[in-house]
Amino acid sequence: MEDTLKDQGARARLVRELQQEGITDAAVLHAFATVPRHFFVPEFLRDHAYGGNALPIACGQTISQPFTVAYQSQLLEVRPKQKILEIGTGSGFQAAVLHAMGAHVYSVERQYDLYKEAEARFQRLRIRVAHKHGDGYLGWREFAPYDRILVTCAAPVVPEALLRQLKIGGALLVPLGEEEQRMTRIVRSGEDSFERSEYGSFQFVPMLRNKTSHVKK
Ligand code: SAH
């Protein structure tokens, strides 16, 4: 696949749309102007890559709609060199956006096939993101604590392990709920104190429990 003038034009148009929808963080807009989203969708959906919708990827999952990715990235208040844990690598697009914003990204995906596909994309696009196949409810202890944690699937409850892997002063962003989710930001203000705020309703694919797929190759 190539990055054609047409793709670049579609990307510039998407950036303008995101601005109209209220995305103001310059680093987020810059990331959307540079990350080639069409590399992260199935080939047959290439022409829809820069449209406003969520799109299907492998394993019955979705790449979130551009606005949702941009909105989460903005709410996260990403600064260069921050250590960010993402739960739900999926296509790898959100991780690539955070990377383009200058963060050190760690991402966990429970579906083995998606993990492998994302790996191929990161290599091909030379995006340095640490990622693993595992259960996001457990976070990624080895590299904790994190400045930011971003959950990109719908969690029924706040996973305890993620709260413990947050730096003091750090923030966790998680869509909370079953059918519809409230975008919830939790700031760890002290060892055992957390402050919660909510930002609108969204619909994500569910965060699934304890059933990582084990396809070994
Ligand atoms: N951030 C992704 C969005 C993918 S959708 C992107 O930019 O494309 C959410 C992803 O969360 C799916 O890939 C799904 O397989 C994954 N997921 C669901 N439950 C999970 C869990 N317990 N641990 C890790 N990943 C999980």
Q: Can you give the pLDDT at residue 123?
A: 97
The answer to whether the beta carbons of residues 115 and 217 sit under 8 Å apart is: no
Question: Which listed residue (64, 73, 91, 107) is catalytic?
Answer: 64
Which SS3 state, helix, strand or coil, does residue 126 take? coil
| pLDDT tens-digit map of 4-53 | 999 999 999 999 999 999 999 999 999 999 999 999 999 999 999 999 99
Q: Residue with the nearest Cα to atom 21 of ligand 1?
A: 136
Of the candidates 11, 23, 21, the residue with the CA atom closest to the CA atom of residue 74: 23
Place of tokens 């309703």: 201
Q: Is the CB of 170 within 6 Å of ligand 1?
A: no
Domains of the chain: 56-216 (3.40.50.150)
Which SS3 state, helix, strand or coil, does residue 13 take? helix
Ligand 1 atom showing the smallest separation from residue 97 Cα: 7
| pLDDT tens-digit map of 124-136 | 999 999 999 999 9
- Report residue 209's pLDDT band, with 50, 70 and 90 as the boundaries: confident
Distance, CA of 71 to CA of 141 (rounded, Å) = 27
Q: Residue with the nearest Cα to atom 4 of ligand 1?
A: 90
The reported pTM is 0.95
Ligand 1 centroid to 13 CA: how many Å?
Answer: 27
Q: Is the CB of 72 within 6 Å of ligand 1?
A: no
Ligand 1 atom showing the smallest separation from residue 153 Cα: 9
The pLDDT mean for the chain works out to: 95
Q: What is the CA radius of gyration of the chain?
A: 16
Known active-site residue 201 = no
Q: What is the DSSP letter of 154?
A: B
Ligand 1 atom showing the smallest separation from residue 135 Cα: 23
Quick one: tokens of 182?
A: 């409230």
